[in-house]
Amino acid sequence: MLVSLAPPTRAVANGERKGSPRRATHEYASPDGMAVPPDNSTLIVAESYGRKLTAFDIEADGDLSNRRVWADLGDGVPDGICLDAQNAVWYADVPNKRCVRVREGGEVLQTINLDRGCFACMLGGTDRRTLLLVATEWRGPAGMTDGRRTGQVLTLKAPAPGVGWP
E runs forming strands in the chain: 2-6, 9-14, 22-29, 31-35, 42-47, 52-58, 64-72, 78-84, 88-93, 98-103, 108-113, 117-124, 130-136, 152-157, 162-163
Can you give the pLDDT of all 166 residues of the chain as single tens digits? 333 334 454 555 555 555 665 555 556 677 889 999 999 999 999 999 999 999 999 999 888 999 999 999 999 999 999 999 999 999 999 999 999 999 999 999 999 999 999 999 999 999 999 999 999 998 877 777 888 888 999 999 999 999 999 8
Amino acid at 43: L
Global confidence as pTM: 0.85
Please tell me the distance from the alpha carbon of residue 43 to that of residue 13, in angstroms, as a whole number. 13
Residue 80 maps to which CATH number? 2.120.10.30
The parent domain of residue 144 ranges over 2-14+23-163
User: Based on the structure, what is the number of domains in the chain?
Assistant: 1
DSSP state of 144: G
